[in-house]
Amino acid sequence: LTPLITAAAGLTSETHGYFAGGYATSPSPGVLDSILQHPFASDTVATDIADMSETKLGLSGSTDTVYGFLMCGSSGASDRKTVDKYIYGSASTATAIGDMTEPGNTTGGASSLTHGYAFGRYKNASNTKHDYIDKFNFSGSFSSSGSMSLGAAFSVRQGMSGASSATHGYHAGGTDNASAFNGIGRVDFAADG
């Protein structure tokens, strides 16, 4: 990646990997709005091909076969709750399609065939962590389902990772700043359980 980036979101099409937002440590430090593209077929430098609707770091991503979705994050000074929709392979700026229930850094994302999920939330303004799991529809108008509990074994936290199978979304690890966690939890796509 050029520049050096931390706290970006990752997306995957059939042919490319995408890296969105994050914080550039050099050559010009700051929060980014860039969307970088890297082809799976060759070991080349990622190319800056588009922008998000706003600058943000600590965001998460979901994907379907045509679009990438970039959720929440932070500008560094303020928390974001925007969901951007990006058309894979285009040089067009991502479009803001709606908002999650609460702003903040979402650090784990998952995807079913029809919906995106965002796990956890850290709010910079209040220095608080939350157990939100938000869900939104990939097609049609944007809608968020609100919060669902991570359960007693998965208390409020930040810094989680996310993954997807055909039937479930998974969130793993994280921290509440006092402790680090090694648990893996899952959400049933069919039942939102």
pLDDT digits (tens), the chain, 193 positions: 877 898 999 999 999 999 999 999 887 899 999 999 999 999 999 999 999 999 999 999 999 989 999 999 999 889 999 999 999 989 999 999 988 888 998 778 999 999 998 888 888 888 888 778 888 888 865 666 655 555 545 567 778 888 999 999 998 888 777 788 888 888 888 887 6
The closest alpha carbon to 21, from 37, 38, 9, 12, belongs to 9
Neighbouring C-beta atoms of residue 126, cutoff 10 Å? 10
Q: Which amino acid is at 36?
A: L
**Which three-class secondary structure state does DSSP give residue 104?**
strand
SS (H, E, C) 1-50: CCCEEECCEEEECCCEEEEECCEEEECCCEECCEEEEEECCCCCCCEEEE
Neighbouring C-beta atoms of residue 54, cutoff 10 Å? 17
Give the long-range contacts of residues 145-149, CB within 8 A, separation 24 or more: 145/192, 146/101, 147/101, 147/102, 148/187, 148/192
CA 187 centroid distance within chain: 16
Rg for the chain, CA atoms, rounded: 16
